């Protein structure tokens, strides 16, 4: 997103600061029962904003705490605790003006100092947060040195000018900085509470939050209960009075319980969307979701010789029949992908990628040629392994890939392992092909593209390309980075270090009487305060 548009969008919002919270159209008859029950696949690992690392944990945290900005149903940022901000000429100092009426659940005002404490805490090595790198990603001054223990946390580039003015200095201009503030790890926390209770501060009886809901019960791996908070600044407009999250480890079981009326929202298992859409047209939904699914190829020294040949990499990518994966396996409105960045990412212009436009026959033809050139074919087969972590969907796609490659003389041995082993092997370049997926941290293409720079910590296939690095560096300060992103994607398409497979969709069953969930937000960020249940 361009700097100018970001600012003008904010200016608009400041002019009309009441256009959010549950936006109930006039004449709507609300149900008496304003409770919302949603599904969690797993136990919530932590309710501490600076410790949490999971998407599911973030869904809970957004209701218990509130950061500087929130997202609306379209994924645009709207004021949260911050009403607005000013940006210095050089684009590196942000001054946030905090909402004076925002208070904690014990009635004390939310101050700039609470943010300073939280942000320092995230970077502080003593906290040992697995998300400490997020402060670095935000380019906050001294963040990396603090995390490395070279500077004290107090040197972080964030300070409270007064109770309601927060100043942040960053190391380079970052056009998408405000978007990043929606993330849970930047939420404020109370120093006095944390110091008093230690790790126990997230227990329902101890927790003090500033969100629209308060935590009333958390049984690990079973349920989370949240009540509407009366102290929340926009409590008058919050309609939903109670939120419940139920952990159900088995997706099929989750669906059965949804159909029995125990849940208002649940994920649809792969392959079931078409049937459910037919039977429950008002409930089955599929919306783009900012994650991208690929097979990473190992180009490092430890990798197989064949994969160092761009012809082989291209051939494999061409031979992957994405339409079958999307239409016959997943069947949930996912998009087949020929590039890395999710197609619906804000501001991202899809690059022109040649093979995306070909038919599968053309791709197969080309793949056969390229493999032949590289010296492989049914007479001289190429043996590779494909690693994937345990999951019904990954398994199905891997089996299909094995079948796609077989006619080309590429024998894929499937290697299913546990998540931790899989990750460990990837990080040690101990693989040929490996399943990989990345979900955007924020709604901007760099969250994807930064990953394949040579200095990225996640470039497990060791794709090193100077031109690519230069483009990504340039994009950080460019006035309009989008053309650079497009060029970067084209390098990926011509070097093919990965086999893009599909772009995610969030495929859900949602009770037809629940309204206010985001419909155009590719991050799928939702807030309980925006929801309401209509009378049926």
Nearer Cβ to other proteins, position 136 or 513?
Answer: 136
Nearer Cβ to other proteins, position 299 or 434?
Answer: 434
- Single out the segment in contact with other proteins by CB under 8 A; choices: 2-10, 221-229, 349-357, 369-377: 221-229
Tell me: does residue 35 bind other proteins (CB under 8 A): no
| Number of chain residues interacting with other proteins (CB under 8 A) | 74
Are the beta carbons of 285 and 278 closer than 8 angstroms? Answer: no
Of residues 191 through 210, those in contact with other proteins by CB under 8 A are 199-203
Nearer Cβ to other proteins, position 47 or 493?
Answer: 47
Of residues 461 through 520, those in contact with other proteins by CB under 8 A are none
Nearer Cβ to other proteins, position 120 or 202?
Answer: 202
- Single out the segment in contact with other proteins by CB under 8 A; choices: 102-110, 312-320, 328-336, 348-356: 328-336
DSSP for 371-391, written as a single string? HHHHT-BTTB-EEEEEEEES-
Nearer Cβ to other proteins, position 144 or 525?
Answer: 144
Residues 299, 495: Cα–Cα separation, whole Å? 11
Of residues 272 through 311, those in contact with other proteins by CB under 8 A are 272, 275
Show the beta-strand stretches assigned E in 263-395.
265-267, 284-297, 335-336, 382-389
Show the beta-strand stretches assigned E in 329-460.
335-336, 382-389, 410-417, 433-439
Of residues 380 through 419, those in contact with other proteins by CB under 8 A are 390, 392, 395-396, 398-400, 402-403, 414-419
Nearer Cβ to other proteins, position 239 or 263?
Answer: 263
Q: Which has the closest alpha carbon to 6: 114, 86, 81? A: 86
What residues form DSSP beta bridges with 293? Answer: 437, 502
Nearer Cβ to other proteins, position 78 or 226?
Answer: 226
Going residue by residue from 415 to 434, which x/- string records binding to other proteins, judged by CB under 8 A?
A: xxxxxxx-xxx-x-------
Give min distance, CB of 269 to other proteins, in A.
Answer: 8
Tell me: does residue 252 bind other proteins (CB under 8 A): yes
- Single out the segment in contact with other proteins by CB under 8 A; choices: 4-12, 59-67, 108-116, 259-267: 259-267
Residues 320, 317: Cα–Cα separation, whole Å? 5
Give min distance, CB of 167 to other proteins, in A.
Answer: 26
Are the beta carbons of 63 and 278 closer than 8 angstroms? Answer: no
Of residues 330 through 349, those in contact with other proteins by CB under 8 A are 331
What residues form DSSP beta bridges with 97? Answer: 84, 165
Are the beta carbons of 520 and 346 closer than 8 angstroms? Answer: no
Instruction: Count the neighbouring beta carbons within 10 Å of the beta carbon of residue 244.
Output: 17
Give the number of C-alpha atoms closer than 13 A to the C-alpha of residue 328, restricted to the C-beta side: 10
Beta strand 382-389 with 284-297: parallel, antiparallel or unpaired?
unpaired
Nearer Cβ to other proteins, position 34 or 402?
Answer: 402
Nearer Cβ to other proteins, position 101 or 279?
Answer: 279
CA dihedral 3, 49, 515, 284 (to 10 degrees): 100
Nearer Cβ to other proteins, position 215 or 239?
Answer: 215
Residues 112, 93: Cα–Cα separation, whole Å? 15
Residues 315, 297: Cα–Cα separation, whole Å? 12
Buried b (16+ CB within 10 A) or exposed e, 64-74: bbbbbbbbbbe
Pick from 192, 250, 369, 373: which binds other proteins (CB under 8 A)? Answer: 250
Pick from 5, 328, 380, 411: which binds other proteins (CB under 8 A)? Answer: 328
Give min distance, CB of 29 to other proteins, in A.
Answer: 26
Of residues 115 through 174, those in contact with other proteins by CB under 8 A are 125-126, 128-130, 132-133, 136, 144, 147-149
Of residues 49 through 78, those in contact with other proteins by CB under 8 A are 51, 53
Helix 310-319 and helix 360-374: axis angle, to 10°?
A: 150
Q: How far is CA 395 from CA 269, 280, 290, 340, 507, in A?
A: 14, 28, 22, 21, 19
Show the beta-strand stretches assigned E in 77-200.
77-79, 82-87, 93-98, 158-162, 165-169
Show the beta-strand stretches assigned E in 163-212.
165-169
Q: Is 411 helix (H, G, I), strand (E, B) or coil?
A: strand
Pick from 27, 107, 357, 457: which binds other proteins (CB under 8 A)? Answer: 457
Give min distance, CB of 142 to other proteins, in A.
Answer: 13
Give min distance, CB of 533 to other proteins, in A.
Answer: 21
Pick from 223, 237, 308, 335: which binds other proteins (CB under 8 A)? Answer: 223
What residues form DSSP beta bridges with 412? Answer: 384
Give min distance, CB of 248 to other proteins, in A.
Answer: 5
Nearer Cβ to other proteins, position 308 or 425?
Answer: 425
Give min distance, CB of 478 to other proteins, in A.
Answer: 25
Give min distance, CB of 22 to other proteins, in A.
Answer: 27
Give min distance, CB of 10 to other proteins, in A.
Answer: 29
Nearer Cβ to other proteins, position 250 or 467?
Answer: 250
118 token code pair: 């939280």
């Amino acid at each position: 997103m361009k700097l100018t548009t970001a600012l003008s969008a904010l200016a608009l919002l400041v002019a009309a600061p009441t256009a959010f919270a549950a936006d109930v159209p006039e004449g709507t008859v609300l149900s008496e029962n304003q409770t919302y029950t949603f599904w969690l696949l797993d136990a919530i690992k932590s309710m501490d904003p600076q410790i949490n690392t999971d998407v599911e944990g973030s869904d809970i945290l957004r209701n218990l705490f509130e950061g500087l900005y929130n997202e609306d149903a379209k994924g645009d940022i709207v004021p949260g605790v911050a009403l607005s901000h000013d940006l210095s000429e050089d684009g590196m100092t942000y001054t946030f003006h905090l909402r004076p009426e925002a208070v904690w659940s014990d009635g004390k005002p939310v101050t700039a100092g609470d943010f300073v404490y939280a942000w320092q805490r995230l970077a502080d090595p003593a906290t040992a947060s697995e998300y400490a790198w997020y402060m670095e990603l935000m380019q906050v001054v001294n963040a990396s040195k603090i995390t490395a223990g070279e500077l004290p946390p107090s040197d972080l580039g964030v300070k409270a000018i007064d109770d309601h003015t927060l100043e942040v200095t960053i190391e380079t201009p970052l056009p998408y900085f405000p978007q990043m503030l929606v993330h849970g790890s930047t939420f404020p926390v109370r120093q006095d509470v944390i110091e008093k209770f230690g790790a126990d501060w997230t227990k329902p009886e101890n927790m003090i939050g500033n969100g629209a809901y308060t935590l009333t019960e958390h049984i690990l791996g079973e349920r989370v209960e949240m009540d509407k908070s009366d102290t929340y600044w926009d409590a008058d407009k919050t309609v939903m009075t109670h939120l419940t999250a139920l952990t159900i480890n088995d997706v099929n079981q989750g669906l059965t319980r949804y159909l029995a009326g125990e849940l208002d929202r649940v994920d649809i298992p792969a392959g079931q969307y078409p049937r459910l859409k037919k039977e429950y047209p008002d409930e089955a939904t599929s919306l783009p979701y900012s994650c991208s699914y690929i097979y990473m190829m190992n180009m490092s020294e430890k990798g197989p010789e064949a994969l160092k040949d761009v012809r082989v990499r291209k051939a494999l990518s061409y031979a992957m029949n994405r339409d079958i994966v999307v239409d016959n396996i997943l069947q949930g409105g996912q998009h087949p992908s020929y590039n890395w960045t999710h197609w619906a990412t804000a501001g991202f212009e899809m690059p022109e990628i040649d093979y995306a436009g070909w038919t599968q026959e053309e791709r197969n033809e080309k793949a056969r040629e390229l493999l032949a050139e590289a010296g492989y074919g049914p007479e001289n087969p190429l043996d590779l392994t494909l690693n994937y972590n345990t999951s019904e969907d990954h398994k199905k796609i891997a089996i299909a890939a094995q079948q796609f490659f077989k006619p080309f003389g590429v024998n894929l041995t499937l290697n299913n392992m546990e998540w931790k082993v899989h990750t460990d092997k990837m990080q040690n370049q101990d693989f040929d092909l490996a399943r990989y997926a990345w979900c955007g941290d924020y709604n901007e293409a760099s969250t994807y593209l930064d990953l394949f720079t040579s200095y990225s910590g996640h470039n497990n296939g060791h794709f090193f390309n100077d031109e690519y690095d230069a483009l990504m560096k340039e994009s950080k300060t460019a006035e309009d980075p989008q053309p650079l992103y497009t060029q970067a994607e084209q390098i990926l398409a011509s070097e093919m270090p990965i086999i893009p497979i599909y772009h995610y969709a969030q495929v859900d069953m949602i009770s037809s009487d629940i309204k206010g969930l985001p419909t155009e937000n590719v991050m799928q960020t939702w807030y309980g305060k925006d929801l309401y249940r209509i009378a049926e």
